[in-house]
Amino acid sequence: MIALIEDWLKRASLDVQEYVRLLGATARGMVTQPIYRHDIIEQFDAIGVASLTVVLLTGFFTGAVLALQSGLTLDQFGARPVVGRLVSASMIKELGPVLTGLMLSGRVGSGIAAELGSMVVTDQISALRALGTDPIRKLVVPRVLAGVLMAPVLTVVSDFVGIVGGWIVARYQLQVATGLYWSSIWQALYMQDIWMGLIKPFVLGFVIVTIACHVGLRTTGGTQGVGKSTTEAVVAGSVGVIAVDFFVTRVLISLMY
């Protein structure tokens, strides 16, 4: 039993060490030449634009069900008109960034891990090194930049469609006047809430993509290993999103409130 625990601790320590080394190499690749601009633009499309549909659907139905459930609860206190305030605060500060991060972890994280894992097991990474190309600069840096910059954009889209989804339910299901719904949002929206909702996605996007790249580049065992790496990337990315969200929220609350 002790030997198993020691072995697990060694493997965990090695994983953390390799992850930190990847972060360092990625940071150097971002500020030094060469920079593969075509790959960066390609990843903006693959990570950002291609994820738009799932983010739109997730945000819309989240806002709608949030308005439906909270409206029934607020009725007990005669506070149905403030449903817009609750939907906007929940979407912008917490649900928008987290749910967008989870969707990106499932779609983008798995795709990155599978793609890089396949390149590892087919020796394409070794071929890049043999040709004098740094795989970190060529493969990791464009994905990290795209993830960090596109996650906030997707989060803003998710927040907006979530609030619109809440408005549709509030107007046609809860019979809350349109003007009352939107005015309650503006009255309850503070600048600290907006900053919190904008800062979180940068960190979450970075965590999702770097974890996926780390898992993908450490793939072993052929096609079976690719499947395992894909699963690990989704699980680790999802847990990372929830855990990092807590710590970032704690820091931002202490700084802003």
- What angle do helix axes 191-217 and 2-31 make, rounded to 10 degrees? 110
Q: Does residue 100 fall inside a structural domain?
A: yes
Q: Does residue 18 fall inside a structural domain?
A: no
Mean pLDDT of 45-72: 90
Lowest mean pLDDT of 5-14, 128-137, 228-237, name the range.
5-14
pLDDT at 183: 87
Q: Are 147 and 209 in contact (CB under 8 A)?
A: yes
State how many domains the chain has.
1
Q: Does residue 128 fall inside a structural domain?
A: yes
Q: Does residue 26 fall inside a structural domain?
A: no
How is residue 194 written in tokens? 């907006």
Q: Does residue 9 fall inside a structural domain?
A: no
Q: Does residue 6 fall inside a structural domain?
A: no
pLDDT tens figures, 77-113:
777 778 888 888 889 988 999 999 999 999 999 999 9
CA distances from 223 to 118, 121, 125, 142, 227 (A): 7, 7, 15, 25, 7
What's the CA gap between 140 and 134, in Å, rounded?
A: 10
What's the CA gap between 66 and 34, in Å, rounded?
A: 47
pLDDT surpasses 90 at 20: no
CA distances from 123 to 109, 111, 131, 212 (A): 21, 18, 12, 19
Q: Domain residues for 204?
A: 35-215+222-256
What's the CA gap between 257 and 254, in Å, rounded?
A: 6
pLDDT surpasses 90 at 33: no
Mean pLDDT of 214-223: 86
pLDDT at 10: 82
Q: Does residue 70 fall inside a structural domain?
A: yes
pLDDT tens figures, 162-205:
999 999 998 888 888 888 888 888 887 888 888 898 999 999 99
Q: Does residue 50 fall inside a structural domain?
A: yes
